[in-house]
Amino acid sequence: MDTMSEQGKAPGALGRMWRWLRRPAVAVASGTLLVVGIALGVAGWGGFNWAMELTNTEGFCISCHEMEQNVFVEYRTTPHYSNRTGVRATCPDCHVPKDWVHKVLRKVQATNELYHHFLGSVSTPEKFKAKRLELATNVWKGMKRTDSRECRNCHDFKSMDLSTQEGRASNLHQKALESGGTCIDCHRGIAHQLPAGADAAVAKLYQALGYKLAHEEGYFKGNGGNGGNGGNGQ
């Protein structure tokens, strides 16, 4: 059509519309660009976040048998799955940060996990068990570095009423609060089983990071220590 008008023939109604579309006034052009841009932006941004949230569900996590048959079955026996109050924390609640920047960074990291999934690095229970201490240590290290950020989404010292806790727990939490301790210092193996050699690995990790563990700090001495509930963990 365009070539037809260039040949000198008067353009028809369709041709005029086409020309108006091809060379619109500046205001119309920038307006259209803006509207389409905003629409695409909203759709793109929303779509991106929607897709990212899809990968942030328990169903997505256990769609890989490595997760479903190892860590998920263990988690199902723990208080984070079933408890007195009926509040449940699923995989992403503990393993994916809530705020956007850290979440996207974690998602980028997760591409490494995809790589190892296709490589079959932990494709059998035996392989998983052999690698378990290393994987768990990674999580402990991350938790220590971020002051147990994902735990704190629900378990925040600021909203914790120590006076309603059992004597032993109250005492130890008080000490942790005063000395800047964090959840993972004691609460390990609470949603998944601990691998062989876990205690020694933790001691080594904390030494490398330059921290002391609760019992090394003397938390359990004096009135905090008699009888009570196990201490390290649960």
Place of tokens 């402990």: 140
Cα separation, 234 vs 229, whole angstroms: 9
Residue 41, interface with other proteins (CB under 8 A)?
A: no
Which parts of the chain fold into alpha helices (H)?
2-6, 13-22, 26-54, 58-61, 65-66, 73-75, 91-95, 100-119, 125-145, 149-152, 167-179, 198-209
Residue 225, interface with other proteins (CB under 8 A)?
A: yes
* Least spacing, CB of residue 137 vs other proteins, in Å: 14
Residue 15 or 231: the one with the smaller Cβ distance to other proteins is 231
Residue 83 or 138: the one with the smaller Cβ distance to other proteins is 83
Among 196, 204, 207, 209, binds other proteins (CB under 8 A): 196
Residue 189, interface with other proteins (CB under 8 A)?
A: yes
- Count of residues that bind other proteins according to CB under 8 A: 27
Give CA angle at 132 (219, 188), nearest 5°.
20
Place of tokens 């989404």: 153
Binding to other proteins, residues 105-134 (CB under 8 A):
129
**What mask, x for binding other proteins by CB under 8 A, covers residues 204 to 223?**
-----------xx-x-xx--
* Least spacing, CB of residue 128 vs other proteins, in Å: 12
Residue 233, interface with other proteins (CB under 8 A)?
A: yes
Long-range pairs for 222-227: beta carbons < 8 A, 24 or more residues apart = 223/171, 224/168, 224/171, 224/172, 224/175, 227/168
Q: How many CB atoms lie within 10 A of CB 16?
A: 12
Kindly indicate which of the ranges 45-53, 54-62, 64-72, 194-202 contains the residues binding other proteins, using the contact rule CB under 8 A. Answer: 194-202
Binding to other proteins, residues 65-104 (CB under 8 A):
77-79
Residue 81 exposed, middle or buried by CB count within 10 Å (0-12, 13-18, 19+): middle
Residue 230, interface with other proteins (CB under 8 A)?
A: yes
Long-range pairs for 208-214: beta carbons < 8 A, 24 or more residues apart = 209/141, 209/144, 209/145, 211/144, 211/185, 213/185, 214/172, 214/175, 214/176, 214/181, 214/185, 214/186
* Least spacing, CB of residue 65 vs other proteins, in Å: 21
Residue 226, interface with other proteins (CB under 8 A)?
A: yes
Residue 56 or 75: the one with the smaller Cβ distance to other proteins is 75
Among 199, 204, 207, 209, binds other proteins (CB under 8 A): 199
Kindly list the residues in this chain that would bind other proteins in the complex (CB under 8 A).
77-79, 129, 189, 193-196, 198-199, 215-216, 218, 220-221, 224-234
